[in-house]
Each structure stands twice: as structure tokens, then as C-alpha cells.
Structure 1
Amino acid sequence: MAQPSIHEGQSLPVIQQQRVIIRNKYGEKLVGVLHETGSAELVILCHGYRCSKENKTFKNLAAALEEEGISVFRFDFAGNGESEGSFQYGNYRREAEDLHAVVLHFSEAKRLISAILGHSKGGNVVLLYASTYSDVHTVINASGRFNLERGNESHLGTDFLQRIRIDGIIDVKDDTGKFEYRVTEESLMDRLNIDMRAACLSIPKDCRVLTVHGSKDQIIPVEDALEFAKVIPNHKLHIVEGADHGYTAHQADLTSIVLEFIKAGIQQEKRRGKM
């Protein structure tokens, strides 16, 4: 556990960072960090492809939410970071189930899940979650991909479909030729068969969804954000001018947009008498 820290000049509670382990439905240990402010409200952060809870953006978001007295939980999906399991290409719905295990854990502890936020692949995961479960009413999709048939060539090469049909596997290597992970036909089809349009249309109307995307994103084009805006029932779109996929020079912009949306959701829930 990290040493408690007190915000200078503020009367906020002592904030602790606690290591928390939660088992998913497959018995794998999901490792996360709870930024505990003592609030009933809790925001859950979901990382992207080949990333982890240690992402700089997530640490910045957690610090900003702490300043508002809101607790945060950032964790590693199975097969990523410190969590158990093997990394799988695709795995979107299974990661949504990991998120469900986390939501249930904190709900059983009488915490109120005020928002779930996912970046990149994590954005798809939180949207899939909202299309399946109705227990979280504020969802933030940061730079998610609308069409999952796109983007595979950058990871697997232009001939990936032919190779997977012939060999049944693709071994992905880094620039030095070192093996990174194996893609199976099953895991590739898991990604290609996800229909984000259908999933988004299934999100309940009482679920507030924010899509935030950088106008200069070179990994997932900003056009994907516009597609989400067309089909999600209760949706707000915010394009961050000049921002790249990781909001490298626009961390403060992202934080401000996210905080405003989350705080508005908490106030709305309080008016409903749910918080």
C-alpha cells in the first residue's frame, strides 16, 4: 500500500492507494489499484490494447478525480499487466466480463459505480458492457474503434486473413524479431465478428455516454467517433482539436472533459435519489 497523501490546502480525506485483487468468472486474479478517498462513488478505468493500469493518462485521471473527492479503481484485464491469464487478441467480450466482475465486487461492498471509462480498446469494452448490463449509467468511450474489421493490418500485416486460413495462427513479433504473442483464428474471429453498431443500439436510453476523441488520432480515425454519435441513444460527442490517440499534449483537456461529464452524472443520480 502506498503512503497516504493529503492534498495541500484542502480538507479532503486522506487518500490511500490500495492494491486490490478480484477474481474473474474463470478464477483468474485481476490486479488493480484503488484510489480510496472515502467516497461512496467510484469510477472504474479500463485500459486499451497491450496496455495496463499504469497508463499515464489513467494516473492523471485518477489524480484529478481524487482532487474532487471521488474514488477510482484502475485494473489490468486478464492476460495484461499484473493480472493472471494469457494475452489474447480480440477478447473484447471476455474483457467486458472482467469488468463485470469488478463492478460486482465493488457493488457488493456497497460502492456506487458512478462511471466506467475505457481508452482505445477499453472504450469498446465499456460500450459492450453497457449494451449487456444496465447497472452503470455513465459510460465514457475515449478513442474507441467503431469498425473492428479495421486496424488489424497494423498489428498482423496486410495478408493476415490468408495467413490465418493457411496456418491457423499468426505469431506477432516486435521490430527486432522478438516474439510478442500468438493470434489464433478463434481470437481473430472474436474481434472481426463484433458488431459495434448493433451493440451501441442496445445501450439503454437512460445510460449517458460520452465519446471523446482526438482530431489528430493516427491510430483510430476521428471518423469512428462520428459513427458512435450516430447510433448511441443518449450520447455526447467531444472532439479534442489537435489531440493524438494518447492525448500526449492534451492531458488537461481530456481530464477537464471527463471530470465535467462524471460530475454531471453523479449530480443526476443524486437527484434520482440513487446516491
Structure 2
Amino acid sequence: MSRKANHLKNLEAYTVKDHVWISSRGKRLSAMLHMPSDANKDTPVIICCHGFTGDKTGANQLTLNLAKTLEQAGYIVIRFDFLGSGESDGDFPSDTVVAGWQEDLSNVVMWAKRQSRFITSPIILYGHSLGGLVVLTHSAMNQDISGRIVFAPVVNPIANFRDVILGPALWSKSLEGKTISNFFAKGFKLEGQFVKDLVEKNYDPIGAASVLTTPLLIIHGVEDIAVPIQGSIDLYKRYKGPKLLQKPDIDHVATGKYDVLPKIVLEWLTTEFPLG
């Protein structure tokens, strides 16, 4: 029996791209499953996490294009919207908080691990910007993740949001528990619990990742003005497992150079997680 026929016989029927709902925080996450027709139960699964004010499609379809590239190469991809973002349930101002995003990712991972169609597949996490922070801090001592990919990760969240993304004035206002809006030239509103969570939890992605030993790919454009590249350099220096740092000539969302990210990610995956 051919690999494709065996897949159709033994795995639950899924189209190449299928929409699924995943429960999290009492609501529903909107997710897209990209599954090659010849995938089997050992095909690597890449779970994609978007960034702050982003969604599962990505700026200029960045994440969608990445998913299509990986799917065409034979990898399974799950891209989803955090609660309050994209097509997921919830509201951005109240549901956008790092602790909640961590819970969302955990629920997506648990959902993936329960699916018989890729029950033994290695799981690789991909995160862009704030999604990179969530990927690096996900279950640091849990060995359910085989590898991680971070693109322009936020590794110094308090400094990055206070000084750049929100700015000192809006940061101070948010610290007072007030709802803020129109930050970083975007028309979003954000409740005070987001900043409160950052301050109280004092997230340390580099410290969390320093105990990991699984393969890590770090991508950070030298033209990025939203998230300083020095954080990725520091992450690379402290990471103890197999690692690769790529510094292409792109900005925070690879504007005008949309083939760069998929190419780097695919080359790394074919080396670290080759298809059988």
C-alpha cells in the first residue's frame, strides 16, 4: 500500500487545509491545519504563534506563506489566533495577556498531541515577536516539544513594551490600570492587565530557554526597529542546546522580502527534522 493510501486508510480524514476550533480559557481558538496528503504519524508538526496585534495569517500573509511553504515540503503546520486576535473568540483589549497566551499555546499543543493522525509526530514551536516569548517560556521543563523557532523574539518584554511598543506615557497610564489605545501607530485598545501581568510575572524568556537542550533556530532581521536584535544575540549566547542564529537583511515583518523567512526555516527543518 502506498504511503498516501495508508494515510487515507489509517488517519482521520482531513483536507490539505482545514479549519478547526480548539478550546482555551473557556472560549474557542481559531486554527488552520495544513496537512500534506502523504503525511503520516511521524511527520513533524510545526505550531505557529503570531505576535502582538497580529493573527495567524501574519503581516502581508507572512505566516500563511510560511505555512504553505512547509506544507508543500511535506511538513504539518498548525497556525492559530490567540484569544482576542484574528478569528478567535474574545476581545483584544481584555484577552491579550502573556499568561493567557501561554495557556492558549498549551491547549493547542495538548490538542495536537491528542490527534491520532499525528500521534507520534515531533512538535516544533514557531513564534514571531511576542509569540516568540511565549514559545521560549512554554513548559520549559516539559519534554513534549522537540524544537523551537523564534523570529524577532521579544526577550526583554518590560523594556521593549515600555520604551518602544507602547512608549513611556502609555506604559505609565497602563500601570495605573487604565485602558490605552493607538500605540505603535495601530488602532488597538489594551486593558491595564497586560502591563500588570508583564510587571508581576517579570517574564525571562532567555532564562527559561537556558534550561532547554532541544534544537533552536533564532531569526532576527538587522533592519528590525520594533524589537532590538541584541536580545536574540544574548539568547543565542546563553542557549545550551543545538542552536543557529540567522541575521538576514529584513525588518520586523520581512517587508518586501517575504521569501527569506520560509527559506531559512525550511533549510533548518530539513537538517534538524528531516522527513522520513
Query: For 1:255 and 1:47, how far apart are their aligned partners in 2?
Result: 15
SS at match of 1:194: coil
**How far 1:260 sits from its partner (Å)?**
1.8
Q: Deviations over 1:1-28 (max 9, x none)?
A: xxxxxxxxxxxxx96211110101x221
Query: For 1:94 and 1:122, how far apart are their aligned partners in 2?
Result: 12
Decide which structure has greater helix share.
2
* 2:169 corresponds to which of 151, 159, 162: 159
Q: Deviations over 1:85-132 (max 9, x none)?
A: 222486223212211111111211132243110111111111111525
Structure 2, unpaired ranges of 5+: 1-13
Decide which structure has greater strand share.
1
Query: For 2:101 and 2:122, how far apart are their aligned partners in 1?
Result: 18
Q: Deviations over 1:193-246 (max 9, x none)?
A: 21223212232x2x1111111011111121111011122221423333321111
Q: What's the C-alpha RMSD, in Å, of the aligned pairs?
A: 2.5
SS at match of 2:160: coil
Partner residue, 1:123 = 132
Q: Deviations over 1:142-188 (max 9, x none)?
A: 110221122224443323454345x4213213699x9631331x321
SS at match of 1:48: coil
TM-score by length of 2: 0.81
Partner residue, 1:60 = 65
Q: Is contact 1:171–1:182 with CA below 8 Å preserved after alignment? A: yes
Query: For 1:195 and 1:164, how far apart are their aligned partners in 2?
Result: 21
Partner residue, 2:177 = 168
SS at match of 2:154: coil
Matches within 5 A, 1:251-262: 251-262=258-269
Matches within 5 A, 1:125-204: 125-152=134-161, 153-165=163-175, 167-173=176-182, 180-184=188-192, 186-192=193-199, 193-203=202-212
Structure 2 letter corresponding to 1:29: R
Does residue 241 of structure 1 match 2:248?
A: yes
Query: For 2:231 and 2:184, how far apart are their aligned partners in 1?
Result: 28
Query: For 1:197 and 1:114, how far apart are their aligned partners in 2?
Result: 21
How has the CA–CA distance of structure 1 residues 64 and 161 changed in structure 2, closer, same or farther, with 3 Å as cutoff? closer
Query: For 2:183 and 2:102, how far apart are their aligned partners in 1?
Result: 27
Q: Deviations over 1:49-102 (max 9, x none)?
A: 011011111111111112212121111011111111222486223212211111
Q: Is contact 1:92–1:191 with CA below 8 Å preserved after alignment? A: yes
* 2:234 corresponds to which of 223, 227, 238: 227
Partner residue, 1:51 = 54
Aligned residues with identical type, % of pairs: 27
Q: Is contact 2:219–2:248 with CA below 8 Å preserved after alignment? A: no
Question: Which segments of structure 1 move beyond 6 Å, counting only runs of 4 or more?
Answer: none
Query: For 2:49 and 2:63, how far apart are their aligned partners in 1?
Result: 9
Does residue 86 of structure 1 match 2:91?
A: yes
Does residue 265 of structure 1 match 2:272?
A: yes
Partner residue, 1:100 = 106
Structure 1, unpaired ranges of 5+: 1-13
Structure 2 letter corresponding to 1:80: S
SS at match of 1:131: coil
* 1:218 corresponds to which of 214, 222, 225: 225
Query: For 2:187 and 2:241, how far apart are their aligned partners in 1?
Result: 43
Q: Name the count of aligned residue pairs.
A: 250
Partner residue, 2:82 = 77
Q: Is contact 1:103–1:113 with CA below 8 Å preserved after alignment? A: no
SS at match of 1:243: coil
